[in-house]
Amino acid sequence: MTILFDELLACDACANAIANGDYEGYDAGEEAATKRGIRDWSREGDLVLGDEYGFSWRGCDCCDNGLGGNKHYFAVLGLEVRR
């Protein structure tokens, strides 16, 4: 496995879903956006949650909410295809 994408940031809600597959307490829009982001990134490879980043005004790279808040690093791992 190799790192395909790294230094990605996930909001608390997406980090919880990446780590646990748990969507309890999400409103319908938040759940749909989180599932869409996880599905889209999962097409590239396996999502791996990393350390907490802390507060950032940068939007979430998973659900694309564009809001500031606590963020967590995540990466996408996959098989490197050599041609």
Instruction: Tell me if 8 sits within 8 A of 71, measured CB to CB.
Output: no
Per residue in 36-45, pLDDT (tens digit) is 999 999 999 9
Per residue in 54-83, pLDDT (tens digit) is 999 999 999 999 899 999 999 999 987 655
Closest CA to 39 of 7, 63, 16: 63
| pTM listed for this prediction | 0.87
The torsion defined by the Cα of 27, 13, 44 and 55, in degrees rounded to 10, comes to 140
